[in-house]
Amino acid sequence: DQQVKQNSPSLSVQEGRISILNCDYTNSMFDYFLWYKKYPAEGPTFLISISSIKDKNEDGRFTVFLNKSAKHLSLHIVPSQPGDSAVYFCAASVGVSSSNTGKLIFGQGTTLQVKP
Amino acid sequence: DTAVSQTPKYLVTQMGNDKSIKCEQNLGHDTMYWYKQDSKKFLKIMFSYNNKELIINETVPNRFSPKSPDKAHLNLHINSLELGDSAVYFCASSQDIAYNEQYFGPGTRLTVT
């Protein structure tokens, strides 16, 4: 039972354009969402996150949007750069309170290729 | 300075052997994790420790046993290795259990032949 899904295994974008990576989830108890970026032979690195009390969080070229009613989040990268080429994982967790176990549920990743 | 380090980076071994993967973090974090990334690229949590106390123990065979000698280290011991154990294993840490931002090590690619 895959609770976090990234239905697009790959995405190709021209440099300078917008990249939009999508993620869907099924568990309505999830209240914190994160995006990780992963280069080959390296571990995932934290990129940006959003709490369920917000619908948007922005950090430089990266913006995450959350649509709770649709159980959908997206990561926008603008402008895209060749160095952004990597695998992007979306992750979700339950609870930022003291009851949080720290468990992250990951999607299967989307490979982004930004062409020069 | 590497924040979360794992050794070895690559591990090739035969079925039936026992092996260990070591993880160390120098971030001063209280919580550490082990994840497994299988051939389908899914990252799944296996264990987490908070201040040396086991918090998460997912449905993992008993052949896998984490050990945390102190809060900066979380090692993974695997007994009687099987072909299906071949995967990339990632260690991660977070400031404490209430913080969701986890910092990952570079991974250990385990190949069981």
Considering only CA atoms, which of B103, B107, B3, B88 is closest in space to residue B37? B88
Which residue type is seen at B112? Answer: V
Stretches where chain A sits below pLDDT 70 are: 95-101
> Tell me, what's the pLDDT at B99?
72
The chain A residue lying nearest B109, using CA atoms, is A41
Contact call for B100 and A32, based on CB within 8 A: yes
Surface-to-core class of residue B15, CB atoms within 10 Å of its CB (0-12 exposed, 13-18 middle, 19+ buried): exposed
- CA pair distance A39, A92, nearest whole angstrom: 20
Find out if CATH 3.40.50.2020 is the number for domain B4-112: no
The CA–CA distances, whole Å, from B6 to B72, B92, B98 equal 12, 10, 24
Of all residues in chain A, what percent carry a pLDDT higher than 70?
93
pLDDT in tens, B7-48: 999 999 999 999 999 999 999 999 999 999 988 888 999 998
Left (φ > 0), alpha (ψ -120 to 50) or beta: where does B52 sit? Answer: left
Surface-to-core class of residue A12, CB atoms within 10 Å of its CB (0-12 exposed, 13-18 middle, 19+ buried): exposed
Contact call for B104 and A89, based on CB within 8 A: no
Q: From the candidates A34, A51, A100, which should be mutated to test the interface with B, based on the most B CB atoms within 10 A?
A: A100
Sorted by where each starts, the structural domains of chain A and their CATH numbers stand as 4-115 (2.60.40.10)
> Tell me, what's the pLDDT at A96?
54
Identify residues of B whose CB sits under 8 angstroms from chain A CBs.
4, 31, 33, 40-45, 48, 50, 55-56, 90, 92, 94, 97-107
pLDDT in tens, A35-53: 999 999 899 999 999 999 9
**B31 vs B51, more confident:** B31
Per-residue pLDDT at B80 exceeds 70? yes
